């Protein structure tokens, strides 16, 4: 009788144990799924922590950090693109590392070191291919987004050994990549319709030392900035037989050269109506260019040498940050009047800005403060501050749906 009671007690205890376990599991579906989140990805973002080789995944609605993902290597000058489902980020490190981050699970899914030194990349129109622009060795490598396996190697020269450094790599409509060859002064179009056999169209003698490139938001005009001369090279991709034309000759690059503290980023340009706003290399000016004629309209004097000149998504204002030692300042320009309507000093080392997709907020990396600030773009009021270790690039998932970003 005694043993019967004990046995009964034993089975009750077992039942209670399992019941408690079950209840715990039922109440924690997220933990259950390995910490992955079941949520929309339209309001996710990624911030590069350049000094410690990690990224932070953030919620741009709640202004909160969701995950920190480590082990991405050298992230100085790192950039990122997103998968078409807006779940995965592909991060291009300076050390040639290509990392795939799962933003719903906060994990590093895959990482390949595909070159010795690289400088950004792009994702194809169909979202199936990710391309990386390399310095050492030069050329462009193309990978499958699922596996990060090499699909195509484009040497950008007669062989891999003598391949040029490539810069300004962007995606273009009709499953193309476009990029510039720094060493040889060329622009190449790679049609990736058959991924393993890119069809290359080459434009030579476009100008000396193209150092960066951009494509207009409509995917029509590819423009390469030239470090070696005064002007830019432009390709109209809409023409049946595209050719390179020189624009903005003598805009000032070669005229009373100032020391260039930091090369401006052409990807950070801005289009507002028919005007494009671009940093004038080495000058304390923002260039305004008519996008119908590609001629200079005016130059707007600003605080220092501009680095990023970025339009609020509606194009009503452009926001400008500056090179060292003036990188504590931001200026906001009215695109109708060309007047500076606001100057602010968020702190030392303002490296990058990213607008929310519909423009109501701007996120700003303030490196030397280890902070990312979030501002209301209408009132300039600071809404939130996030602690981030030496933040640099900020990238929101809405880029997944845009050409050239």
- Residue number, 73 or 242, with CB nearest to a copy of itself: 242
Total chain residues near a copy of itself (CB under 8 A): 66
Residue 42 binds a copy of itself (CB under 8 A): yes
Q: What string marks each residue from 176 to 215 as x (binds a copy of itself by CB under 8 A) or -?
A: ----------------------------------------
Query: What is the nearest approach in angstroms of a copy of itself to the Cβ of residue 353?
Result: 17
Q: Which of 23, 113, 126, 298 binds a copy of itself (CB under 8 A)?
A: 126
- Residue number, 220 or 246, with CB nearest to a copy of itself: 220
Q: Which stretch binds a copy of itself (CB under 8 A): 198-206, 241-249, 321-329, 355-363?
A: 355-363
Q: Which of 78, 81, 86, 302 binds a copy of itself (CB under 8 A)?
A: 86
Query: What is the nearest approach in angstroms of a copy of itself to the Cβ of residue 143?
Result: 18
Residue 231 binds a copy of itself (CB under 8 A): no
Residue 43 binds a copy of itself (CB under 8 A): yes
Cα distance from N-terminal residue to C-terminal residue, the chain:
77
Query: What is the nearest approach in angstroms of a copy of itself to the Cβ of residue 210?
Result: 23
Distance in angstroms (rounded) separating the CA atoms of residues 185 and 203: 9
Q: Which of 76, 204, 274, 343 binds a copy of itself (CB under 8 A)?
A: 274
Query: What is the nearest approach in angstroms of a copy of itself to the Cβ of residue 336?
Result: 6
Distance in angstroms (rounded) separating the CA atoms of residues 237 and 260: 31
Burial class (CB in 10 A: 0-12, 13-18, 19+), 387: exposed
- H/E/C letters for each residue in the chain? CHHHHHHHHHHHHHHHHHHHHHHHHHHCHHHHCCCCCCCCCCCEEEEEECCCCEEEEEECCCCEEEEEECCCCCCCCCEEEECCCCCEEEEECCCCEEEEEECCCCEEEEEEECCCEEEEEEECCCCCEEEEEEEECCEEEEEECCCCCEEEEECCCCCCCCCCCEEEEEEECCCEEEEEECCCCEEEEEECCCCCCCEEEEECCCCCCEEEEEECCCCCEEEEEECCCCCEEEEECCCCCCCEEEECCCCCCCCCCCCCCCCCCHHHCEEECCEEEEECCCCCEEEEEECCCCCEEEEEECCCCEEEEEECCCCCEEEEEECCCCCCCEEEEECCCCCEEEEECCCCCEEEEEECCCCCEEEEEEHHHCEEEEEECCCCCEEEEEECCCEEEEEEHHHHHCCCC
Q: Which of 77, 254, 357, 386 binds a copy of itself (CB under 8 A)?
A: 357
Give me the sign of the Cα torsion angle 149, 152, 155, 159: positive
Residue 33 binds a copy of itself (CB under 8 A): yes
- Residue number, 26 or 301, with CB nearest to a copy of itself: 26
Residue 359 binds a copy of itself (CB under 8 A): yes
Q: Which stretch binds a copy of itself (CB under 8 A): 84-92, 130-138, 177-185, 280-288?
A: 84-92
- Residue number, 14 or 52, with CB nearest to a copy of itself: 14
Q: Which of 20, 23, 24, 40 binds a copy of itself (CB under 8 A)?
A: 40
| Binding to a copy of itself, residues 360-389 (CB under 8 A) | 360, 378
Residue 80 binds a copy of itself (CB under 8 A): no
Longest dimension (CA), the chain: 104
> How is residue 318 written in tokens?
């452009």
Q: Which stretch binds a copy of itself (CB under 8 A): 40-48, 71-79, 90-98, 159-167?
A: 40-48
Q: Which of 155, 185, 219, 346 binds a copy of itself (CB under 8 A)?
A: 219
Q: Which stretch binds a copy of itself (CB under 8 A): 10-18, 249-257, 296-304, 362-370?
A: 10-18
Write out the residues near a copy of itself by the rule CB under 8 A: 3-4, 7-8, 10-11, 14-15, 18, 21-22, 25-26, 29, 32-33, 36-43, 60-61, 82-88, 104, 125-127, 171, 173-175, 218-220, 238, 272-274, 292, 312-316, 336, 357-360, 378, 397-398, 400-403
């Amino acid at each position: 009788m005694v043993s019967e009671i004990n046995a009964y007690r034993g089975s009750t205890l077992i039942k209670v144990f399992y019941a408690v376990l079950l209840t715990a599991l039922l109440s924690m579906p997220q933990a259950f799924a390995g910490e992955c989140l079941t949520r929309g990805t339209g309001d996710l973002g990624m911030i590069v922590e350049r000094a410690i080789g990690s990224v932070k995944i953030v919620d741009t609605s709640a202004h909160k950090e969701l995950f920190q993902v480590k082990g991405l290597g050298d992230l100085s000058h790192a950039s990122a693109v997103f998968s078409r489902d807006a779940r995965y980020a592909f991060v291009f490190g300076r050390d040639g590392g290509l990392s795939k981050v799962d933003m719903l699970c906060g994990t590093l899914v895959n990482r390949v070191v595909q070159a010795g030194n690289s400088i950004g990349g792009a994702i194809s129109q169909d979202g199936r291919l990710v391309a990386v622009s390399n310095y050492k060795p030069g050329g462009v490598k193309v990978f499958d987004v699922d596996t990060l396996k090499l699909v195509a190697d484009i040497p950008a020269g007669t062989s891999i050994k003598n391949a040029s450094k490539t810069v300004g790599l962007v995606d273009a409509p009709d499953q193309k990549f476009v990029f510039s060859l720094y060493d040889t002064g060329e622009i190449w179009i790679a049609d990736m319709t058959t991924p393993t056999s890119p069809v290359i169209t080459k434009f030579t003698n476009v100008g000396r030392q193209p150092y960066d490139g951009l494509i207009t938001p409509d995917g029509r005009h590819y423009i390469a900035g030239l470090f070696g001369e005064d002007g830019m090279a432009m390709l109209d991709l809409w023409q049946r037989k595209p050719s390179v034309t020189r624009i903005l000759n003598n805009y000032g690059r070669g005229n009373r050269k100032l020391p260039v503290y930091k090369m401006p980023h052409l990807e950070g340009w801005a289009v507002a109506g028919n005007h494009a706003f671009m940093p004038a290399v080495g000058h304390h000016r923002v260039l305004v260019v008519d996008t119908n004629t590609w001629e200079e309209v005016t130059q707007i004097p600003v605080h220092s040498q501009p680095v990023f000149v970025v339009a609020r998504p509606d194009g009503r204002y452009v926001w400008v940050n500056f090179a060292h030692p003036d990188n504590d300042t931001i200026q906001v320009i009215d695109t109708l009047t060309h007047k500076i309507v606001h100057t602010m000093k968020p702190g030392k080392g303002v490296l990058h800005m990213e607008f929310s997709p519909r423009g109501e907020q701007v996120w700003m990396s303030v490196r030397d403060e280890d902070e990312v600030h979030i501002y209301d773009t209408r009132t300039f009021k600071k809404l939130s501050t996030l602690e981030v270790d030496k933040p640099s690039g900020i990238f929101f998932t809405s880029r997944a749906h845009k050409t050239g970003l």
